[in-house]
Chains A and B, each alone.
Chain A
């Protein structure tokens, strides 16, 4: 049955409530919100002079009003030690969402830590250590001393390769520029940890290496391009559920034809009409359904290919487009290399592609025309290519990414209005770290190393292998065994005797044990096996910067206190570094200790200035004060200037036709079809009638971590 809150009235935001910039930290889209806080013993009134909106709240408000908030947008939280009312509501002035809130983002307030209203009480509030058979609260100094002594012991006895790290690399919650820099400086500068992996995958590698290797950064367009495109090609992405307000606010207007004025303004006399859209997806999704309602079935093409056969379709598209003479020859000549070789190597006939994908020749031919057939008068068709997990986590994914980028390049659709070849994304991005080049390729398969008994200490930052690794059961079995060895050793000595405790742990490690430290905001599944939990702050409990799927960087201001003793990850990393420096110095290793200098940050802003401001492209133009002034619209990275009080950004990457390779040209990739590449997949596919995919539903996409 339906859950009901039985809330029939909410406190009114008073005129003088404090206002904060907020970017939703759940998904890549990064919708703009505003947080309003005011003292617990005050409230606004219905008269226009008495509330933040300046409207008469004794009247029913209209659809899409800014002067309303749902119970999910309200809470009572701590701010500077005091309970305050808080409302976090979508910002109508943000270009990303224009006031729209999804079922996830519109719950930011309700999903915040509140002792007064009992929300998110699962949050970690204190450092916890394994003591006498259970996790018990302790001080930061005690927990960090233990972490530092065991980590230093492992480095001493086994080398830095025995320090295994799992860490977020993204933005939004559990990440952001401050926190990726804090962890990056610790593991890539103070140490050179090569056995490190990224939050949702068992190694330290990109999900979209191919496009990067080709010189085409994957977030190369802007959300407005979805309003300007003649055709959108959506591969393995279900945007209505997983980039909800990007889809609703930027794709739908184009499908409805309500962005035609924008097109006219941008393209002048070029023929325009409402968009067509092609979906490449074995499944029929709610996104397809919505597009059919808005654009009509004749403007929506669903190519329900055999799972994993995208590559063959992309190659056939390129072959046909080249045969028809629909390529952008001047662009290919000026901005790409390897076109002829890739075209020859990837040549795929319509019949062959039809056989592999189970599509008809007619479907492939018609979709190719939607993508690349010149418009009336010969104008180039503007096509935007968008892809996500269906491609990047699919069959032969590195090589499947390549031919889609090939097609986008061949049709001149990168760096131009209405184009782009982009991943849709999961989290926001927020990567700022010293170089990871020393890790090399292929990056170590970290989860396999852990299963095989390698490593002595494991630092985990906002990751949960128990839920997200391959063969999780096998991993859990091995991991539990190894960490139990250390737990039993810890239980065998008095907790207060630190030298004995460290010795017992080191002895257990040398017998195959593993000491595990989990930094997170909630107790995780892998946390069950860990010996130390360190409580982290999340977005809104610290100042945090990230960028969204169109590289739009914003600062979410700290509007509430973190729970208990929780701290921003960047400061936790800094304090680990401080303790390691002390421990190495005590052990008369001043040269090693010196490597841990430079972590004297007091605030997350210190980490930001050291990291993003000091090291990232365009970072010199970006400060907290400037970002605050840029509000929920921020700017699009990279920053290129600061002028008239504004950070000047970059609307589209590669608009000058120069790409990220040494010769400035994008390189097309040779990618012949080689079947279902993973061993056993072909047989599996034949044996089972259904492929079950679950977990990422509309309600909890990118916020399920708060629903343990």
Chain B
């Protein structure tokens, strides 16, 4: 846990940029521009978005991405060991939203215990266990990406398993 910054200081830009800044924009550029229109169906149609290639990932170094659009910051992680919801041949790649599902603050990655941590109200999420809330005030575990990795090693996000903070439809 780190000291909380006043909300007002976070600002929209900082919030949208996610934990690491510039990388989010780069990843967002590859998203399809046409969002799925809100249609009277259960669930939403997710875009298939290339977020990175496996070569871009280093063990325990978060790669900032955004999905399903540029306004939804997230992170890709590689652990070097198989985890239950991991993708890839080694089953060790995962992706999460980095917006806290409690009050929408940006989460920070702590590599020592592979958790995403909220400076707002101290919620903590276990990245090795599907985003399980270890402690906190969110009523959801952390939204995780459904990933597909093709033969070239390109990593695609194709869905999210919980509602993202700040939107009543995951695809706006």
Contacts and interface: CB of A to CB of B under 8 A. Distances in A.
Contacts of B30: none
Contact of A9 (B121, B130, B163): B163
Determine the main DSSP class of A at the interface with B: loop
A68 B139 contact: no
Given A2-B141, A68-B168, A72-B139, A10 B163 contact: yes
Interface string A43-65: 00010000000000111111111
B161 A248 contact: no
Contact of A294 (B3, B10, B105, B136): B3
A286 B126 CA distance: 17
A240 B122 contact: yes
A73 B167 CA distance: 14
B15 A62 contact: yes
A65 B44 CA distance: 23
Given A68-B168, A248-B121, A63 B4 contact: no
A692 interface: no
Given A4-B161, A59-B172, A698-B135, A286 B44 contact: no
Determine the main DSSP class of B at the interface with A: loop
B165 A4 contact: no
Taking each of B15, B38, B44, B126, which has the highest tally of chain A beta carbons within 10 Å of its own beta carbon? B38
B61 to A, nearest CB: 23
Nearest to A9: B169
Nearest to A247: B121
Interface string B98-132: 00010111000000000000001110001001111
B166 to A, nearest CB: 4
B151 interface: no
Contact of A63 (B15, B84, B129, B138): B15
B1 interface: yes
B84 A1 contact: yes
B118 to A, nearest CB: 10
Given A7-B162, A68-B168, A248-B121, A2 B139 contact: no
Contacts of B162: 4-8, 71
Interface in B45-104: 46, 71-72, 84-85, 101, 103-104
A672 interface: no
Contact of B12 (A4, A62, A103, A107): A62
A6 B161 contact: yes
Contacts of B169: 8-10
Nearest to A44: B168
A46 B137 CA distance: 27
Given A4-B161, A60-B72, A103-B136, A70 B101 contact: yes
Nearest to B130: A2
Contacts of A3: 141
A581 to B, nearest CB: 46
A11 to B, nearest CB: 8
Contacts of B159: 8
A60 B132 contact: no
A293 interface: yes
A4 B130 contact: yes
A106 interface: yes
B163 A71 contact: yes
Interface size class, chain B: 35 or more
Interface in B152-167: 159-163, 165-167
A29 B105 CA distance: 24
Given A4-B130, A46-B38, A70 B139 contact: yes
B104 A293 contact: no
Nearest to B68: A8
Given A5-B162, A6-B161, A60 B139 contact: no
Nearest to A4: B161
A580 interface: no
Contacts of A65: 104, 166
Contacts of A290: 1, 122
Contacts of B16: 60
A290 B117 CA distance: 13
A312 to B, nearest CB: 33
A73 B140 CA distance: 11
Contacts of A5: 140, 161-163
Contacts of A2: 126, 129-133, 141-142, 144
Interface string B1-14: 11110110010100
A12 B167 CA distance: 10
A313 B1 CA distance: 32
A447 interface: no
A256 B1 CA distance: 15
A184 to B, nearest CB: 36
A240 B123 CA distance: 12
A260 interface: no
Contacts of A698: 135-137
Contact of A68 (B15, B129, B140, B167): B167
A402 interface: no
A239 to B, nearest CB: 13
A561 interface: no
A244 interface: yes
A10 B144 CA distance: 18
Contacts of A103: 133, 136-139
A12 B169 CA distance: 9
A101 B137 contact: yes
A100 interface: yes
Contact of B1 (A60, A62, A293): A293
Nearest to B122: A290
B136 to A, nearest CB: 7
Contacts of B132: 1-2
B168 A10 contact: yes
A118 interface: no
Taking each of B105, B132, B166, which has the highest tally of chain A beta carbons within 10 Å of its own beta carbon? B166
A139 interface: no
B128 to A, nearest CB: 10
Given A4-B130, A5-B140, A106-B139, A68 B166 contact: yes
A289 interface: yes
Interface in A346-379: none
B36 to A, nearest CB: 10
A41 to B, nearest CB: 12
A72 B162 CA distance: 11
B129 A294 contact: no
Taking each of A2, A8, A240, A248, which has the highest tally of chain B beta carbons within 10 Å of its own beta carbon? A8
A102 interface: yes
Taking each of A1, A69, A72, A107, which has the highest tally of chain B beta carbons within 10 Å of its own beta carbon? A1
B135 A9 contact: no
Given A6-B162, A290-B1, A61 B104 contact: yes
A85 to B, nearest CB: 12
Contacts of B172: 58-60
22 contacts: A2-B126, A2-B142, A4-B144, A6-B162, A8-B44, A9-B168, A9-B169, A10-B169, A59-B172, A60-B166, A61-B167, A63-B120, A64-B104, A70-B138, A71-B139, A100-B103, A103-B138, A244-B137, A289-B1, A293-B2, A293-B3, A293-B122
Interface of A: 1-10, 12, 46, 57-65, 68-73, 100-103, 106-107, 110, 240, 244, 248, 256, 258, 286, 289-290, 293-294, 698
Given A106-B137, A244-B137, A293-B2, 19 more contacts: A1-B84, A2-B133, A5-B163, A7-B163, A8-B160, A10-B163, A60-B172, A63-B10, A63-B165, A64-B104, A70-B139, A100-B103, A100-B121, A102-B137, A110-B139, A240-B122, A248-B121, A286-B122, A293-B1
Top-10 shortest CB links A-B: A2-B130, A63-B104, A72-B139, A2-B132, A60-B71, A2-B141, A61-B166, A8-B170, A4-B161, A9-B169
Interface of B: 1-4, 6-7, 10, 12, 15-16, 38, 42-44, 46, 71-72, 84-85, 101, 103-105, 120-122, 126, 129-133, 135-142, 144, 159-163, 165-172
